[in-house]
Amino acid sequence: MRNLILSGGIRHDFADNAAALAGQLAIEGFESDIETDIEAGLARLERGGYALLTVMALRWRMDNDPKYAPDRAEWAFSLSRDGRARLGGFVRSGGGLFGFHTACLCFDDWDEWRDILGGAWVWGRSWHPPLGPAAVAKTSENHPLTTGLGGFEIVDEVYSGLSLAPGVRPLLEARTGTLERAEPVLWARRCGKGRVVFDALGHNRSSIEQPTHAQIVRRAARWAAGDASVTPDMSA
C-alpha cells in the first residue's frame, strides 16, 4: 500500500519524524512518499495510487501571534480551494487519513478541517505543557486500535483544550503532572466512505518509536487504509 506523508513546519524535526513514521509503517508494508510542498502533494494525491494520506505538518496562517513573525515568510500557509477539494474528496471517496500530532494545528482558516480530522487546535485557548513525561490510558471505548493494549508512559507534548467534532469518541487519554484532567490523544472515525485516525502524540522520534505507541501507530495506518485484518470496526 502507498502512503503520502505531507510534512514540514517549525519547532519540530519534521524530516526525522517523517522518516521515523515511514519506517514504522514500512513494517506493515506501506511505501511512503514524503512531500513538504502541501499543494504539490495533494495534486499528486489526486492522481491516484495512494491508500493513505498522512498529515504530519505544522502549516497555518501564522497571523495570530507576533512570535511567529520570523517564520511567516517561509512557513505561513493557507490551503487553496483546490487543495481543500482534493483532500476532502480523497477521504470522502474512501481514502484513509492519518492525522499526526501537529495536524490539528494546520489549515486554521478551513473550518471543515476540524470536521474531517475530528478535532482542531483553537488559537488563544488550546495549549500544551512542556515536553515531558505523560501517562497514557485507554478509555472505555472498544476499538481495534487499542484492543489488548494497556496504558503506557511516554515523553511527549499533551495537547489540551482542542475543539472536538460532534461524535468523536477518544480511544486514549493522557495527562501530565501539570494537567487538571486527562486530555484525548487518539480517536478513529469515519468521514464519508473514508476512515480517519488522529494521534495527538508523536512530537519526536522517541515518541513515535515508544513500543506501545509504535504498535498503535502501525495499527492506525492499517485501519485508516481499510486493512481487513484490523476489522471489525467496533467504533462504527
Report yes or no on 236 lying in a domain: no
Q: What is the pLDDT of residue 78?
A: 98
- What residues pair up with 196 in beta bridges, in sequence order? 97, 189
Any idea what the CATH number is for the domain that residue 196 is in?
Answer: 3.40.50.880
Report yes or no on 84 lying in a domain: yes
pLDDT class of 234 with cuts at 50, 70, 90: very low
pLDDT digits (tens, 9 = 90+) for 32-77: 999 999 999 999 998 889 999 999 999 999 998 999 999 999 999 9
28, burial (CB in 10 Å: exposed 0-12, middle 13-18, buried 19+): middle
Mean pLDDT value across the chain: 95
Neighbouring CB atoms inside 10 A of 140's CB total 7
> Which three-class secondary structure string do you get for 103-156?
HHHCCCCCCHHHHHHCEECCCCCCECCCCEEEEEEECCCCCCCCCCCCCEEEEE
pLDDT digits (tens, 9 = 90+) for 154-178: 999 999 999 999 999 999 999 999 9
In the chain, how many domains are there?
Answer: 1
Report yes or no on 118 lying in a domain: yes
Identify the residue whose cell numbers are 508494508: 29
Q: Do 211 and 24 meet the contact criterion of CB atoms below 8 Å apart?
A: no
pLDDT digits (tens, 9 = 90+) for 14-32: 999 999 999 999 999 999 9
Q: What is the pLDDT of residue 236?
A: 30
Q: Give the CA distances from residue 19 to residues 34, 164, 208, in Å, rounded to whole numbers and listed in that order.
A: 8, 29, 10
Q: Do 141 and 186 meet the contact criterion of CB atoms below 8 Å apart?
A: no
Report yes or no on 68 lying in a domain: yes
Decide if pLDDT at 147 tops 90: yes
Instruction: Name the nearest CA neighbour of 165 among 87, 202, 112.
Output: 112
Instruction: Name the nearest CA neighbour of 225 among 117, 113, 103, 97.
Output: 97
Instruction: Name the nearest CA neighbour of 197 among 225, 220, 168, 217.
Output: 220
Q: Which domain holds residue 220?
A: 2-230
